[in-house]
Amino acid sequence: MNYIKMYDNIRFIDKELKKGNYPNATYLCKRLGWKDRKTIFRLIQIMKEELGAPIEYNENKKGYYYTDNNFILVNSFITKREIVVLKIIENFVKDEFGEEFYNSFNNLVNRIMPPDYDRNESEFIKEIESSFSFQPDPRTNIKVDILLTLIDAIYFEEKTKILYRSQKGETLERIIHPYRIIYKNGGWYVIAFCELRNNTQFFAIHNIISIQLLEENTFTKPDKIDIKIGHGIDSLSGHGNYEVIIKILPSSAEYVRHRFWHNSQKITENDDGSILISFQLNTLNNIKRWVLGLGENAIVVSPTELIDLVKKEATNILKCYI
């Protein structure tokens, strides 16, 4: 039996066990097209001994079952290339999300690695890993336990009591209905309905001091979340509608044109090597900082509100050095 067919058969057995159908060898032989029941016994043995599946035989039901319904079958039939990809992602998780995420992901990767993974292959992976480096943006520090509790609240639709630090430094108590978690520009946020404010808003997870699931208090998640979610250089919570056009001079045009900044971006090439890049944005705060970051190589064409914001910020910066 080749690996692919064996894995497909194991997946089928797993589904039957998850359904609680109490499949036996005769039934599985018929469904899988095997004539010899020994093949089924061998597959069951592989699942128990190599994949850790908690399978037992029920004499009353005359079939197999999972003693732990929360068991998840992990595919251990992976190629060397897939292992390389996993290890690269593992390094990205460490640099982008921090040690706590990395430790959990590392444990998962080690469980997936084949039991016969030899030392020569490990040396090969180390060489591959050393060929990559990630330079993440500055990120906020969060408590992973708070993030995981929010995920539980979203999944089970349970109201949550949080202690939250406002932008003014005040400690506030809120009861929220968490809808969705977003990771953007190095920060974690949760979209949630706030019972006190009676509206849906963003909460920065790094500002959540403590959290408590209110398990007896559930809510119904709306089919549509009535809040704008910014992308790229846009803001998470802007409510405007701005058509932004910026001229990028030739010295920075190559850098700008080959990057994805926003899902609405459009680029027009000019004869002198400069480009015009346009966006449809909810807010001007992030694009103002983006323009200032490019210095003299970015010139705002429109709207006038953005021109005024950049002028004011540049003037204030100049005052610091006079």
pLDDT in tens, the chain (322 residues): 455 577 778 888 998 998 888 999 999 998 888 878 888 898 899 888 878 889 999 999 999 999 988 887 765 556 666 777 777 787 788 777 777 778 878 777 776 665 555 555 566 666 766 777 776 667 778 888 899 899 989 988 999 999 999 878 889 999 999 999 988 777 889 999 999 999 988 898 999 999 999 978 899 988 887 666 555 676 655 567 899 999 999 999 999 988 888 888 999 999 999 999 999 988 898 899 899 999 999 999 999 999 999 999 999 999 999 8
For residue 209, the one-letter residue type is I
The HSE-up count of residue 30 (CA atoms within 13 Å, CB side) is: 5
Is pTM beyond 0.85? Reply is no
Domain parsing of the chain, residue ranges: 3-66, 80-129, 144-218, 242-319
Give the fold, CATH level 3, of 242-319. Answer: Alpha-Beta Plaits (3.30.70)
Domain 3-66, CATH 1.10.10 — does that match? yes
- Give the burial class of 192: count Cβ atoms within 10 A of its Cβ; 0-12 exposed, 13-18 middle, 19 or more buried: buried
Burial class (CB in 10 A: 0-12, 13-18, 19+), 244: buried
Rg (CA), the chain: 27
Q: Which residues of 271-280 are buried (b: 16+ CB within 10 A; e: fewer)?
A: eeebbebbbe
Phi and psi torsions of 44, nearest 5°: -60, -40
Q: How far apart are CA 150 and CA 155, in angstroms?
A: 9
Domain formed by 144-218, architecture: Roll (2.30)
AA letter at 40: I
Spatial distance between the Cα atoms of 2 and 313, rounded to a whole number of angstroms? 66
